[in-house]
Structure 1
């Protein structure tokens, strides 16, 4: 009977996984097209509204107007650092209608790239099916759909930080993408703390220098706006929107909805959660699991940020996928499936639909924030002491490889010592054998001479003179 390995070999040789991957990518493309068309058919004030703010702020910069004095028709101000506005100026080179189509295509492309990146970190069985499968799972979540609806930049920042923190960039450039992402939006700065704590000092230095260099570029191009932003606007979180809204699924939002308005309480809670998440991430990195580490730090940015709207929460479905595929223990896949389900459908909406909302109002309004905190505290399961998930060239792999080389070297030295000891015993045994054989030969010769002498005496002849 044909065994499983032979059947799997024939399955791969016939290209069936590649056909399956092509079919899944076709499904992804269909979902992307339908989602984009639905966005374009929304009302004008509810269609790529954040992208419109980027476009309008960039036009204000080109016209020489104050960047942080700009307010869009829907009342939305520009809230990012000046460096981001410099990048957004390139948007004004094409008509806004064309930009909308390009942006929707780029957003779905970023989701596809996240699927490919995660598949590299989770490589194993059915590797050809992982990229489109993960991309589909992320695309149907409310966070990805929110990025499409509002024309948000969040998904691109997640991609930059994930690729860099997971060690998929060349070693000499590692940290640069994190620095760029933090220069566009400040929350990825937590990845710099992770790089430092995990002793990736070179990457941390490059991330810091890149962030400072981008900030300096913004200051040179827009000195007045840079002063306005860094001297006070950066701390005015009220410009971002109503932080008590249930759309804000950060620790700050949970506390505000619970009636806790003291900033110190939010700072203390967010700081404690970040410390635990960074500790878990450091363990994962040292165990050769940089993907797990990157997702943990990403979830910590969602929990700790003053505001985490739905489009910020792309890290949450990535955590769910990590739990489903490599989560520690038997509960991992179940917890990941539940988490992924609630990133697709709002818990509050489900509770209202079932009529169970009044008694579970607080839980429903804060379910995703509490889930994010749980991920940060639990660490996506215990990190394994293996290099199975580590891409080639990561720091975690180098540490694990160093431990492996040390262990192998010790074994080799011990084996060599045992071999030398055995050889010494063999030489001693051989010497004893030679000495015993020599003594036996001498005794036999003496006996032979004695017998010969006795025979000659018997024959009446004098005995022969013994040799030498």
Structure 2
């Protein structure tokens, strides 16, 4: 009995510490649930601080680089100069800046920008750069929230945990979005040119993601009155059944136009009666900077009769699918994804989508990276890479096939078109539980096979090379310009310059193009330039500029894969020049 009592006492004594330890663990668990994990909070705060420090550094370096440029804020200078002319009584749409740029926006934009003429240009430049950086931060807020909502669905065991994780991850994601956005080509382009596009995106995004109110839709109307592309959001409102929002946006757009008509009647009539349709005033629409569907078709060399019909059909299909996808996204509680998708459709559909218009594409790429599925995330990474880097410039030296060149140089157009059609992968926009390793491996394999298939498809395409979007052959009226015709001036000098060779020429490299100028022998009947293997040739005009001598001149973005071929009257090739063109220094 004594032994049994002793054992019972020992067991009882051991039970007490175990019960106490269990009680302590339960108390600690209750404390963790009641009080935030301050270590995690401090780690998160450090991440947020580092990200914002990176954003600030990127912004300061970008601004410093912009201010060092001789052509800094050129579009802002156009706004300032055009409005100064308008205040002096000269026509707004006849203004031409020193760089040849005109004022291209609706007259209401002139009213909005009117205050910049009341300040010295240096002050306007500083305020504009600061406002552009602030707009980047403001854009990052709704996009970061959309990403945070997508990252917190599956892992949370209780609804309150999901909401808490969303609140805690939102600051990190907002800072990350702002930093990446600042480093992207579209924002850098907005800073460099002093563009209004970043503010148009901000207004459209805020209105597209806003909660129901009596003023929702007004910002869209104002943005469309400054730049017409946000009008697509009116169709988005109608597709979603938000008829009052569509009405408010339309009424605001009309009211802004009426206000401009009252204060600027002549300019309003000039713009809406014809200037609005003169897209050629904006610049060379076939250049690589124009990453719209229209620009891609121009680079394909489509003839003028077919171009309007093909462009209209493609744009109608892309916009219709994008609006349907956006409606479904909005209905499933993803207004941020829906608004960004509609914004991407404006980039694809507009006749002109310069780099500074393509902020929407960067936002879409980040949302894709934050979605579920290997394929979608890889697509987001690829699209984001194309928006930070110029794939045509970076990968051009390794792409000898014109189809692959076309893919790289039109990656932004093709990417935004696929995105509009796919709609973030059929609304799979939230992060789910990770699949088993075998499933992940199969997903990576499918993505790799699909990527190789795309490259193989474009590798065999006999597409016109997208490497020469700046191609232009000069005519007889251009002979007087020494920039285009630089090898010889006058009949005696040009005769001496020519040799017994069928073609004698020289090259001159500039920042964005290479020029070729020379003379041809009497027995040369035709001169063709092939910009890349597989592409159709360009016939170079042979100009009888001086008695007894014929000269020629043309330009192209690069001569790396160029080939110049001279033909006799019977079609027989006389000479071919490829190494001489490839030796020309590539533009920086």
Cα deviation, residue 362, structure 1: 1.4
Write the deviation string for residues 142-180 of structure 1: whole angstroms up to 9, x where unpaired: 011000000001111111101111125x61110011011
SS at match of 1:172: coil
Residue of structure 1 aligned with 2:379, choices 329, 335, 341: 335
Query: Does 2:139 align with 1:105?
Result: no
> Aligned partners of 1:354, 1:108: CA distance in 2, in Å?
36
Please identify the structure whose Cα radius of gyration is greater. Answer: 1
Cα deviation, residue 323, structure 1: 0.6
Residue of structure 2 aligned with 1:367, choices 400, 411, 431: 411
> Aligned partners of 1:109, 1:200: CA distance in 2, in Å?
30
Cα deviation, residue 339, structure 1: 1.1
Q: Which residue of 2 aligns with 1:20?
A: 47
Change (3 A) 1:17 1:346: same
Which deviates the most, 114-123 or 182-191? 114-123
Change (3 A) 1:12 1:185: farther
Cα deviation, residue 27, structure 1: 1.4
Change (3 A) 1:250 1:359: closer
TM-score (norm 1): 0.78
User: Using CA pairs below 8 Å that are at least 6 residues apart, which structure has the higher relative contact order?
Assistant: 1
Query: Does 2:191 align with 1:164?
Result: no
Q: Which residue of 2 aligns with 1:312?
A: 357
Q: Which residue of 1 aligns with 2:169?
A: 126
Residue of structure 1 aligned with 2:224, choices 172, 176, 182: 182
Residue of structure 2 aligned with 1:54, choices 79, 91, 98: 79
> Aligned partners of 1:59, 1:385: CA distance in 2, in Å?
48
Q: Which residue of 2 aligns with 1:302?
A: 347
SS at match of 1:72: coil
SS at match of 1:173: coil
Whether the 8 Å contact between 1:288 and 1:385 is mirrored in structure 2 is no
Write the deviation string for residues 186-211 of structure 1: whole angstroms up to 9, x where unpaired: 00000000001110111111100110
Cα deviation, residue 23, structure 1: 2.3
Cα deviation, residue 115, structure 1: 1.0
Cα deviation, residue 111, structure 1: 0.6
Q: Which residue of 1 aligns with 2:313?
A: 268
Query: Does 2:272 align with 1:247?
Result: no
Q: How does 1:422-441 map to 2 (within 5 A)?
A: none
Change (3 A) 1:360 1:93: same
> Aligned partners of 1:361, 1:381: CA distance in 2, in Å?
26
Cα deviation, residue 354, structure 1: 3.8
> Aligned partners of 1:297, 1:167: CA distance in 2, in Å?
15
Q: Which residue of 2 aligns with 1:288?
A: 333
Query: As a proportion of its length, which structure holds more helix?
Result: 1
Cα deviation, residue 282, structure 1: 0.7
> Aligned partners of 2:373, 2:180: CA distance in 1, in Å?
22
Whether the 8 Å contact between 2:399 and 2:405 is mirrored in structure 1 is no
Cα deviation, residue 382, structure 1: 2.1
> Aligned partners of 1:60, 1:141: CA distance in 2, in Å?
34
> Aligned partners of 1:385, 1:240: CA distance in 2, in Å?
37
After superposing on structure 2, the runs of 4+ consecutive aligned residues of structure 1 that deviate more than 6 Å are none
Residue of structure 2 aligned with 1:324, choices 364, 369, 388: 369
Whether the 8 Å contact between 2:186 and 2:355 is mirrored in structure 1 is yes
Cα deviation, residue 98, structure 1: 1.2
> Aligned partners of 1:254, 1:84: CA distance in 2, in Å?
28
TM-score (norm 2): 0.62
> Aligned partners of 1:358, 1:47: CA distance in 2, in Å?
34
Equivalent pairs, count: 382
Q: How does 1:214-233 map to 2 (within 5 A)?
A: 214-233=256-275
Cα deviation, residue 183, structure 1: 0.4
Query: Does 2:140 align with 1:115?
Result: yes
> Aligned partners of 1:148, 1:223: CA distance in 2, in Å?
32
Query: As a proportion of its length, which structure holds more strand?
Result: 2
Unaligned runs of 5+ in 2: 1-24, 149-165, 433-588
Whether the 8 Å contact between 1:328 and 1:383 is mirrored in structure 2 is no
For the aligned residue pairs, the C-alpha RMSD in angstroms reads 2.1
